[in-house]
Amino acid sequence: AQSVTQLDSHVSVSEGTPVLLRCNYSSSYSPSLFWYVQHPNKGLQLLLKYTSAATLVKGINGFEAEFKKSETSFHLTKPSAHMSDAAEYFCVVSEAGNNRKLIWGLGTSLAVNP
Amino acid sequence: EAGVTQFPSHSVIEKGQTVTLRCDPISGHDNLYWYRRVMGKEIKFLLHFVKESKQDESGMPNNRFLAERTGGTYSTLKVQPAELEDSGVYFCASSQAAKMSGLGTDTQYFGPGTRLTVL
């Protein structure tokens, strides 16, 4: 069965410094992996997705993630944090087959300090 | 193009009452999903429609929950009777028709959610 572990429940960075949000997954199949973001009082927005093409995936707002099969990781990074990046981030794996249901991590709350 | 919409945004009801949540997917999207996040827990899958048919309802907690998608457009999720543990945020998502190649996974676009509080 697939599962997702987000290694940090809270991350705090200073504006202008790099962001690293860690995610490990467990999957019996070649997974599809996603990062979603939820800003306060907003809906869930897709940041980026990996679907067995390039292992380095670029998303919106300067975020990117690298799929590392040997480490079963899909960490999210950004070179320089902005105040508007403060939000909750979710790492997600898609269950294989026609089902396509999404399996979610618990989320990481990112705080950006001035 | 309008996104996924959900109604109401908030609902506060008493234990034993009935509540119906509505989701309008993006026009033309055959797939519709319901998810729920209970406080402190991860977002969990409830069920998946393909057009008007239930493809997978393995995540439905119990028979107090009834989902419908008549005509393959909007969907409703009814909770009857509501219990305290049903409180949480209910998300709806939609995606385009499944690709026969099976390559990758269609992107699911989410609505803003309905926050349900059962007192």
CATH number of B5-9+17-97: 2.60.40.10
pLDDT of B1 over the 90 cut: no
Nearest chain B CA: its distance from A26 CA (Å): 16
* Digit-coded pLDDT (tens) for B65-117: 999 998 889 999 999 999 999 999 999 999 987 554 444 457 889 999 999 99
Residue A17 has which token pair? 């410094």
pLDDT of B15 over the 60 cut: yes
* Digit-coded pLDDT (tens) for B39-55: 989 999 999 999 999 99
Q: What is the mean pLDDT of chain A?
A: 91
Percent of chain A residues topping a pLDDT of 90: 72
**Chain A residue closest in CA terms to B114:** A43
Cβ B34 vs Cβ B43: under 8 Å: no
pLDDT of B22 over the 50 cut: yes
* Digit-coded pLDDT (tens) for A2-38: 889 999 999 999 999 999 999 999 887 778 899 999 9
Residue B86 has which token pair? 């049903």
pLDDT of A1 over the 80 cut: no
Domain count for chain A: 1
Provide the domain limits for residue A20: 3-113
Least CB-CB distance to A100: which of B4, B91, B105?
Answer: B105
Burial label, A30 (beta-carbon count in 10 A; 0-12, 13-18, 19+): exposed
Residue A47 has which token pair? 């940041």
> What is the structure's pLDDT at B42?
94
CATH code for the domain in which residue A68 is found: 2.60.40.10
Percent of chain A residues topping a pLDDT of 70: 96
User: Hey, are the CB atoms on B109 and A46 less than 8 Å from each other?
Assistant: yes
User: Hey, are the CB atoms on B107 and A49 less than 8 Å from each other?
Assistant: yes
> What is the structure's pLDDT at B16?
96
Mutation target for A interface from B43, B45, B94: give the one with most A CBs within 10 A.
B43
> What is the structure's pLDDT at A99?
56
Cβ A13 vs Cβ A32: under 8 Å: no
pLDDT of A98 over the 60 cut: no
Domain ranges of chain B: 5-9+17-97
> What is the structure's pLDDT at A107?
96
Residue B12 has which token pair? 């506060």
